Every structure is written in structure tokens, then in C-alpha cells.
Structure 1
Amino acid sequence: MFSNYRNKRTRLYAITVITLLSILYLFNQRADPLSFDSGRLEEYMNNGKHRKYTDISSFDWRGAPVQNTPQSFATIPTGKPLALPRIQYDFVAEKKPERVKRDKRQLAVRHAFQRAWNSYKKSAWMRDELKPISNEGKDTFGGWAATLVDALDTLWIMGLKEEFNEAVAAVATIDFGKTSSTTISVFETTIRYLGGLISAYDLSHEKVLLEKAVQVGEMLYRAFDTPNRMPIDRLDVEKAKLGEGFTADSHISIAGIGSLTMEFVRLAQLTGDAKYYDAVARVTDLLDRAQNTTKLPGMFPIWMNAYDQDLSYDSSFTLGAMADSVFEYFPKTFALLGGLEPVYKKLYENSMDMVDKHMLFRPMVPGREDILISGNVRAESANNTELDPEGQHLTCFVGGMFALGGRLFENKHHVDIGAKLAKGCIYTYKALPTGIMPEIFLMLPCASREACPWEQKKWEAEVIKRTHPVYLDDVNRAVKTERLPVGFTAIRDRKYILRPEAIESVFVLYRTTGQKEYQEAAWDMFTAVMNATSTAFANAAILDVSVIDEYPMQDDSMESFWLAETLKYFYLVFSPPDLISLDEFVLNTEAHPFRRPK
């Protein structure tokens, strides 16, 4: 109904209609089955008036039939949450010069967010994304205003309450009953839309956000409507309305099936509806049963057969694309459930044992820095593995995962691994001329993690191996033409698409160790990213981080995670440590904080 707020007249019209609908709602108010915590309700009202909205969606997903209804539902663990170990460092009061410097940096990040947000609001309002060069909108994730929903909690966290209230009013008009796409990604819709709505509700307690989260959750619940209750990768929205059911995919990524846990668990906690927990608990049960049946027992491969519930056929393993968030969710879901479901601890510890043994490598670099990179593995068995020393920007989240898991499960070795992985990403940022790491690159693994002297000839031979026969044996020409920093043996993808994973780990390592060096690294990363990505309107992906130009080659794209994740993590690393404390919240893979139970 309100698809575009491009001018004052349209905005005034929208506000008038919303006001009239609110008045009608007050006259026809019915008992609400969703309960509130009165203390947090008073907190979120913040001396303001409790706004009322009514849902004008064209379809109520709660009424969509389900073909494959479970005979019984797994119940969410009950009881008082365990007293879990402290995750955050015990910070002391900062001195005034430190606070002044931190405040200035935090303000710079906030300004970058406001600039991009204002451009989105002016030129792409209610569209999924802003095109930051042409300054217009586009739809990429169902046409439900992905950037708006994804950025809700960032608005709240940054104290932009007027903008937040306006965004909530706009969210109330989103019609999740229809879409601009034939099919939607279940994974992306879960982490961006469902996660964004739940998080914004957890922070503000605006009731309409939970109502919308229920609608999105009900729609996504239909993805589990298969005979074996395994979710499908892409949901046909119109077919889902008919309730005829689907067939589980015979080929689906492990992330696509296993990264829905946090969102559905939190929705079950907020609504008291066991079916949401049951949906993901069945996937967790499968992972638990199958963990030692894979070609690298303990670790999960990239691809699986959900139809046959088979994880034994794929020999490719990674913490990068198509797999990443399933591992991240193990310790986070454990915390979200208050430690009352131990299977997530088992899944984390067993898989990370294999990652530590087979996947992490120390790269050979001239300064002999003691850093780690997460690579890929081909495995036919635990005794027949081959490391592919490919680093991905995506895998930079792993440092934060190890640090958080190490603190949560009191494993100092994992905290140390997390620090070395985070510093590995910091190193690869600094190594490129733009100060930003590439999307995908290769380095030369050391024979040992304990000692790794620099060997120039060995590095040169590896460069020739990766580039032959294009440059024959001319290593100097290969290094120059391929623009390889010393220590890098190839760059497979030179883009930077405004990704958050490196700053995510830097943020977690700062909050878990208290070491100021991570704040300094964060500032270097922020300034480098802003220098390369800034456009006349917002920030754009760049095509080549290995080239310094006055006007870098930019792509007309600004994914919603720039506002939802990247700038949020930059902001939080320069915030007081009690803002979104890791002892009070767990953040999903789209950086949406969910409140931990007490």
C-alpha cells in the first residue's frame, strides 16, 4: 500500500492513513495472545507513547495449511538457565583521553551510517537495496524492504530513535503475503527478515515487530513442510499458501539447512509456540546422528542430501561459503538456550576439533607473524585429507567464533586460536594497497604452526606453480602483473562487497580480551573501507582491492548487511562494552542481537 515515500505528500498521506488505522484498532482491540514483560515494556516506552499498528497484509500465514504435520512436537528446554561462564572481559573505567578518542571514532561510524541511511530513505525507501552509484532502489530479497528491516536494530543501537520509529511505521505496512520473486531463499529470508524483526523487538518491544516476525516465521515454517520435515532451500511462496507440501532437496548446502536455528529458537521463546523449536530441533537431531558418518568424522561437509538425510557423500569441507553459519550457530544456540541443551556444545567441540587439526594453517609471511588462516579441505577419510590454503573474507568470522566458544566452554586454546585467526584477517587487510583484504586469496602454509621462517625461494616457487604456464618461470612478472603482496600466492577474487566478517571477529576479540590493539585495527579497517567505498550517496562494493586509484573501480551495489552488520560492528567496537554485551545477547549471522534468557 505504501510502496514509496518519495515526497512529502506521499509521506503525509501514509502518516494520516496509519493514524486512522491506529484509531480503528483502538476501538476494535482484542486480547493479544502474545505476552509482554511489563518491566521491559516500560523500559522500551522510554517516556513516549505506546504506538499501535494494525496488520494490513493480503494474506495471513497463520492460516496456511500444512500437509506434513508432525504427530508431536519437541519442546523447548525448560528450567532456570545455567550460570554460564562470562564471555566479556572485565573492563575497567577508561581514562578521559581514551573516551574522547573512542567517542570521536564512534561518531564517525554513526555519521557513515546516517549518510547511507538517508540516501536509502530518499531514493530507495521500501525497496530491498540502494544502488549507491546510480542512487536508486532495487529488489533482491523478495521486495520486502530488506535494508529497512535489516537495519532496524542498528538504528536503535545507534540511538537514532526518530528514524527507528519511522522505520517501524513503515514495517507495519510491509505485505508478506505477496512477493516480487517467484521463490525466496529460506536462509536469507530467515537471517535478514526474521532475524531483523526479532532483534528489533528484543531491543524495543514494539509489538508490531513481533507480529510481523510471526508472519515471516509462519511463512518460513512452510519450508519444513516435507515428509521428513527437512527444510527446502528455496520456498515457492504461492505454492506454500496452498499447503500442498514440498519434497526435501537431494542436494542442499549445510548452511542452508542448519543455519535457521537461532531465529526459530528465539521465535519459540518469544511466542511460546513449540512448533518453531521443533522445526529446527529435527535438523539438529540429524546433525547429531550424522556427525561421525561424514568423510571427515566430526566435521560437516558443504553439501548434503536432505531427502535421504545423508551427509556421507561430499568430500569438500570449509568454514567459508555455503557452510559458515551452521558452525557459528552451535555455541550461540547453546547460549540462547541457557545451556540447557548440551547437544550444541557437542556439535561445536567435535567439529572444531577437526577444524583445528585439518583446516587452520599458519601462512608463511616475511615478518614471521604468528597468525592463522582458515582454509578448505578435501577428505576421503580422516586419514586421507588435503588442505587447500584458500582464505576467504567470509571465513574471517571464525576468529570471533573460536573466541566466543572458548570463553563459553572455558577452553583457553580456542580463545588463543581465535586471536590468531582475527590477527590473520587484520594482516591480510593491511597487506593489500587499499588496506582491504580480497574476497578469495591463497597463501603458502607453513610446515608447522610453531615456527615458520620466511623462505623467499619457496614462496616464489609456489607463485610460479599457481600461475604457470601464463608467466612461465618469470616470477617477477607474475607478482607484478597479478599484483600479489609478498606472502600471497594467488588472488582468486579481488572484490570487496562491504563484508562484515573481519570487523566482526575484531569486535568479538576486543570484547573478550579487552586489548586496545583491536580497536586500533578496527579504526584502520574503517578508514580504509570508507576511503575506497564512498560514493556521492553512500558506499559501494569495489571490484579490485589490489589497485589504488583516486577513483576506485566500484560496483553499483550496497547489500543490506552494510547497515545491518558491517557498520554495526564498527560502531560497537567503539562503544562502551555494556552496549549489546555478549553476556546479555547473542548475535545471529546477520549481526542481529537476540536477548539471552536469565
Structure 2
Amino acid sequence: MMPPPVRRYLSLTLVSVLIFVILFNLAARLPGHAYRHTRSPPRAHRPIDEVLHPGFLKPKFRWKDVKLKHPVHKYVKIPQGPRVDIPRVQHSFEQESKDHAVWRKSCLSAVKEAFLHSWMGYKEHAWLQDEVAPISGNARNPFGSWGATLVDSLDSLWIMGLKKDFEMAVSAIKKVDFISTPTSEVNVFETTIRYLGGLLAAYDVSGQRYPVLLKKAIQLGEMLYLAFDTPNRMPMTRWNWQKTALGEDQEAKRSSLLAEVGSLTLEFTRLSQITGDMKWYDAVARVTDAFERAQPHTQLPGLWPTLVNTKDADFARDTTFTLGGMADSLYEYLPKQHLMLGGQTSQYESMFRTALAAAKESVFFRPLNSENRKMLLSGTVKRHSHSRTKLLPQAEHLACFAGGMVALAAKIFQQPDEMDTARELVDGCLWAYNSTISGIMPEIFTALPCKEADWNDCAWSEDTWLHAVAEKANHGTARAGYEKEAHQEIASKGLAPGFVAINDARYILRPEAIESVFVLYRITGDVRLQHQAWEMFQAITNATRTPIAFAALKDVTQLESPLIDSMESFWTAETLKYFYLIFSDPSVISLDDYVLNTEAHPLLRP
């Protein structure tokens, strides 16, 4: 039997705990309790805090516990069947010469040094924040304050053999909580490609030896899944997560960017493959089905417009079509999702073949150039009526991914003729790089398209170019004596032969051009592409390096351009990774083993 003093002690302890719990919960309901040392927040902010932080002894908020307003009663499952033989992607590389190996490894070391310089700047100035500002050293948080550069760089750290830094980053990720964010809206696309893709890829490339990476991917996946909780299961691409957490019903928007709606397939599919939970695959499979149904019925059949009405799943209203910004990764993911599903369905191949045929007919164009090189650029098309379209010959750095996309598809869909299309698209972007005084392609420029009937005989004409420059400068009119005016415009804007205008002269450390050069190199084995990559790398790093990291350029037409205090996480996630991989042994992240998402995160193929 328990002695009386012990019984009294236990009784007093229990009473004390009970009083504490009662007082704590009462205090939690008093105005300003959580903000004793700060100004009380607006009243509207309190309910979400109460949901996310329910108080002592109450269940912790978890996104997986949120009751769906529009639940799915039967999931679409990942297609299964006998193994499909997909053609080998990579070139069969022969043993390299000693001289080439020495040169290649020196390039590899230089890329690794650039990455380390960027990584150390982030570690020192912006650890656990989204980005470091490479001039001021300030920390910035444009992507949810979950440490975008940290997560985006994980697989790069592993690939470059920086295991100590990798493990330090993995340890830091334990502190990241994908429950809430200071921003009122979550960009579902950016969060998926950078964070979810980054976590899954790091888990895959490290041999699945770090369970916390999968744990965090699942936690984030549970959150992102709620963005699909709409009446028609189309995602809310700019999602008000607080309304969902508070139990409010929401709908997809009437105007959503094409890429943000259609570029979630790889990451959600890979999460379902690893976990066996089909809800994530189901979410994106339903979206793909909507795209497939709409493909023949858009204003430019075969392609989808840059803006779509996701509320009504209406793809037929918008009249702008491009493979550049706002649309790019939708098309990129079609052949890649075919690989991710092991070729078990013909859906993505069929959609891609149809889209490529339409792009070749309407969007790709051959630019007039002083070297009379046969190459292609990807522009933008406006549909003015059922019988009339207008090509806007604006080439975007973002669209430079297309060459790599077409090359990959040409291999896996056994379309050898399209390899020429891929080469010409890559050549078009390399021409743009080589045409500026800095050796770097601008964000957007206007070229001079050859007349469609003369595509195979597109001879350079300086007079035609001068006329186009003057016409563009005068908003569609070339006055008498336009030659003098054109020369003045060329001199003042730094226009290279064939450039009609530079719409955006910046270079913001983008990866798309080196991405396609890398993919084409791995597929063809053409060592000239390595040398071109080295020239690109030198031009970029020489122009953008700062004491802290690397910064975006304001104007690629200047030899010493002012810098912009910005370094997006795709610099370490994509740009430097592609430069590193093109100089690596081809077995490193083989394209026969991995599919790289649009943020260059390698996901293991089944």
C-alpha cells in the first residue's frame, strides 16, 4: 500500500497539472495572449492561428487530416503491365583520350568551384531562407520561406560529391515544417518543382538512405494535395491555403497559367510510386485527361493556350500559343512522363506527337542570320481568326529547353528525323549566345523570320534586316531613309546581325540553353557541345560573379553590365548542375536511369 505522504504528493501534483491545463487553455483564448510583446494582429488572423496551433493536449494540425470537400471515391492507378522496351537514350560513349580527360576534368573542377562559391554565400548570408541576394548579402523569401535554395541544391550537393554539406543540409531540413507559410497564397507549381521535386530527387540519388527526405516530401505532398480539392479536381495553382485550413470550399480560377496547371505530373507520380499511395497520381492523371480531351479543340489545335479556365476546364478561349514562358514545362513533361510511367500508356506519346507537329507548323521559325546557318527558334503565335494566325518572332531564353525536349522524344519515340529539329533548335540558342558582346543570350529578343516558302533557301540580306530594325523601332513603319535610322538603332541597342530588337536584355542565370546542350550531348556524344558549353560557362561566370555568389545581369549587350541583386535557386539547382553534368562521366545521372524534372531534379525511372 502507498504511504500517505506519497499519496498526498501525487494528489497535489495531479491537481497542479489540472489547474495549469485549465489556465493555459483559458489564456489561449484571451485577446493578445500570443502577442504579449507585440502589437495585436488583425482579428482575421486569429482563426488560422487557432487551427494551426490548437493548444495544449489537442491534436496537432496535419494536412492529411483536413476533410476534403470534393473527395475522390476511386483513385486512378498508375498503369501496370508487361515491361515495355523503351529505346536507349544515351549515346554509347567510347573511352576518351587522355588529353580530353584532362581538359574535361579541369572544366568540371571550375564548375564545382562556382557551385561552392554560390553555396558558401548562401550558407553564410541566408541559411534556411529561400535565397541570398548576391550583392547585398540580404536574405529573401519569395517561395514560402521554406529554404528554397537549401532544398533545391540537395541533389547538386550529392552529385558533386559534397557529402558533408549534403548531410548538414538534410539535418537542417528537419527544421522545415510544411504546415504553413507567411504568404497567403502558395504557388503550387513552384512549390512542386523546387521543393517536392528537390526532396524526392535527393532521396533517389542518395540511394534512399535518408528517410527524413521522404518524410518531408510526404508532408509537403499532403499539403499540396489539398490544392486539387475543387469541384472538378482541377488545381488551384495560386492556392489560398488558409481558406482550406479553415474549412472553406474553393474553386479553381478562371484564368491560370498553362505550365502551372499541367507541370505537376512527374513529382506527384514519383511520390505515388515510392509510397504506394495513388492519390497523388490520381490528382495529376485527371488533369492530363482534361488536357487530352481539349487538345483537338483549342484555337490552335494540337497546342494549348497560355491561359486556361481551370474553373470550367475550358481551354478554347485564349488565343496565345507558345513553348516559352507560361507554357514551357507542360510540353516538356509529356515525353518525360512517358518515361516515368515506363511506357505503360501511349497517352503522353500521342499528346506529344500531336503537339510537336503543331509547333513545327506554327511556332518554330527559321531566323535570317548573316552566317546563313540552318537553325530554328521558338516564337509565339496569336490566333486572330479561324483562318489567320500571326507569328511573333520573339525568342525567349525560357524556350531554349525545346531542343533538349525534342531530342529526348526523338529517341524514346523512335523519330530519328526529329533529331535534326532538335539540333536546329539548340543551334538557334547557341547562335543567340554567340551573337552578343557578352557571349550570353538575352531574356527575350526579336528575330527576323525567313519567309515560310523560302525556309530552305533563306539567304542573308542586310537590307531586309535594316528595314525590319527600322520598322520595329517605329512601331510598324519604316520611313524613307530607314538605313540611317536602323544603323543608329543597331548601335544604341547593341543589336547583332539578325536581331531586330531586344525586348528584355537581362540574363537572370537561367538554365534552359545549357540544359538542351547537355541533353543533346548525352544523346549524340558530340564533343563539340562540350566545348560550346565551356564557352557559355566562362561567359556567364566572368560576367556575373560577386564576392558573395553570382548575380543576374541587367544588360547582356554590354561588356561590363550592371548586376542585379538576385540569384534564384535554379542557379544551383539547374544551371550549375547541367554545366557539371556535361563535363561528368556519362554514367553520372544517366538519362537511361533518371528523368530530370523542370528544375533539373533527377527522379529515378521505374
TM-score, normalised relative to structure 1: 0.89
Could you tell me which of 453, 459, 465 is aligned with 2:471?
Answer: 465
Counterpart of 1:592? Answer: 601
Aligned partners of 2:279 and 2:247: how far apart in 1?
A: 16
Aligned partners of 2:105 and 2:83: how far apart in 1?
A: 35
Partner SS for 2:121 = helix
Aligned partners of 1:151 and 1:276: how far apart in 2?
A: 24
- Would you say the 8 A contact 1:223–1:246 is kept in 2? no
Partner SS for 1:385 = strand
Deviation at 1:256, TM superposition (A): 1.2
Counterpart of 1:505? Answer: 516
Counterpart of 1:548? Answer: 559
- Would you say the 8 A contact 2:396–2:444 is kept in 1? yes
Deviation at 1:471, TM superposition (A): 9.4
Partner SS for 1:330 = helix
Aligned partners of 2:307 and 2:83: how far apart in 1?
A: 34
Partner SS for 2:75 = coil
Deviation at 1:67, TM superposition (A): 1.2
Aligned partners of 1:147 and 1:382: how far apart in 2?
A: 45
Aligned partners of 2:395 and 2:386: how far apart in 1?
A: 22
Counterpart of 1:348? Answer: 352
Deviation at 1:138, TM superposition (A): 1.1
Aligned partners of 1:240 and 1:581: how far apart in 2?
A: 40
Counterpart of 2:548? Answer: 537
- Would you say the 8 A contact 1:540–1:556 is kept in 2? yes
Counterpart of 2:310? Answer: 306
Aligned partners of 2:601 and 2:447: how far apart in 1?
A: 32
Counterpart of 2:243? Answer: 239
Aligned partners of 1:240 and 1:123: how far apart in 2?
A: 34
Partner SS for 1:568 = helix
Amino acid at match of 1:572: L
Runs of 4+ with >6 A deviation: none
Deviations 1:289-328 (A, max 9, x none): 1110101111111111111111111110000111000000
Partner SS for 2:297 = coil
- Would you say the 8 A contact 2:364–2:377 is kept in 1? yes
Aligned partners of 2:136 and 2:301: how far apart in 1?
A: 49
Counterpart of 2:299? Answer: 295
Counterpart of 1:557? Answer: 566
Aligned partners of 1:322 and 1:452: how far apart in 2?
A: 31
Counterpart of 1:422? Answer: 426
Counterpart of 2:132? Answer: 130
Deviation at 1:543, TM superposition (A): 0.5
Amino acid at match of 1:199: A
Partner SS for 1:291 = helix
Deviation at 1:524, TM superposition (A): 0.3
Deviations 1:409-429 (A, max 9, x none): 010122111111111111100
Aligned partners of 1:362 and 1:177: how far apart in 2?
A: 49
Amino acid at match of 1:527: Q
Counterpart of 1:318? Answer: 322
Partner SS for 1:401 = helix
Aligned partners of 2:147 and 2:61: how far apart in 1?
A: 18
- Would you say the 8 A contact 1:371–1:421 is kept in 2? yes
Deviations 1:47-77 (A, max 9, x none): xxxxxxxxxx974322222111012111111
Query: Which is higher, the Rg of structure 1 or of structure 2?
Result: 2
Counterpart of 1:140? Answer: 142
Counterpart of 2:335? Answer: 331
- Would you say the 8 A contact 1:471–1:478 is kept in 2? no
Deviation at 1:239, TM superposition (A): 2.2
Could you tell me which of 274, 281, 288 is aligned with 1:277?
Answer: 281
Aligned partners of 1:197 and 1:449: how far apart in 2?
A: 45
Could you tell me which of 407, 410, 415 is aligned with 1:411?
Answer: 415
- Would you say the 8 A contact 2:506–2:554 is kept in 1? yes
Aligned partners of 1:101 and 1:528: how far apart in 2?
A: 18
Partner SS for 2:372 = coil
Amino acid at match of 1:491: I
- Would you say the 8 A contact 1:176–1:216 is kept in 2? yes
Aligned partners of 1:345 and 1:93: how far apart in 2?
A: 34
Counterpart of 1:32? Answer: none
Identical positions, percent: 47
Aligned partners of 2:543 and 2:60: how far apart in 1?
A: 43
Aligned partners of 1:491 and 1:574: how far apart in 2?
A: 32
Distance change (3 Å), C-alpha of 1:59 and 1:566: farther
Counterpart of 2:493? Answer: 482
Partner SS for 1:386 = strand
Partner SS for 1:377 = strand
Aligned partners of 1:161 and 1:207: how far apart in 2?
A: 16
Partner SS for 1:417 = helix
- Would you say the 8 A contact 2:467–2:478 is kept in 1? no
- Would you say the 8 A contact 1:291–1:299 is kept in 2? yes
Deviations 1:363-390 (A, max 9, x none): 1111111111001111246642211111
Deviations 1:5-27 (A, max 9, x none): xxxxxxxxxxxxxxxxxxxxxxx
Deviation at 1:241, TM superposition (A): 2.2
Partner SS for 2:566 = coil
- Would you say the 8 A contact 2:471–2:478 is kept in 1? no
- Would you say the 8 A contact 2:117–2:548 is kept in 1? yes
Distance change (3 Å), C-alpha of 1:93 and 1:245: farther
Counterpart of 1:360? Answer: 364
Deviations 1:97-116 (A, max 9, x none): 11111001011000000011
What runs of 5+ residues in structure 2 fail to find an aligned partner?
Answer: 1-58
Aligned partners of 1:268 and 1:80: how far apart in 2?
A: 19
Amino acid at match of 1:499: R
Could you tell me which of 111, 117, 120 is aligned with 1:118?
Answer: 120
Aligned partners of 1:340 and 1:374: how far apart in 2?
A: 31
Deviation at 1:182, TM superposition (A): 1.2
Deviation at 1:169, TM superposition (A): 0.2
- Would you say the 8 A contact 2:384–2:390 is kept in 1? no
Note the 1:39-438 alignment, pairs <5 A: 59-204=61-206, 205=208, 206-380=210-384, 383-438=387-442
Aligned partners of 2:508 and 2:487: how far apart in 1?
A: 29
- Would you say the 8 A contact 1:127–1:146 is kept in 2? yes
Deviation at 1:401, TM superposition (A): 0.3
Deviation at 1:93, TM superposition (A): 1.0
Amino acid at match of 1:488: F
Could you tell me which of 431, 437, 447 is aligned with 1:443?
Answer: 447
Deviations 1:435-454 (A, max 9, x none): 00000001111123312111
Counterpart of 1:578? Answer: 587
Deviation at 1:407, TM superposition (A): 0.5
Aligned partners of 1:555 and 1:471: how far apart in 2?
A: 35
Could you tell me which of 452, 456, 459 is aligned with 1:453?
Answer: 459
Aligned partners of 1:197 and 1:188: how far apart in 2?
A: 13
Note the 1:21-36 alignment, pairs <5 A: none
- Would you say the 8 A contact 1:484–1:490 is kept in 2? yes
Aligned partners of 1:449 and 1:507: how far apart in 2?
A: 27
* RMSD between superposed Cα atoms in Å: 1.4
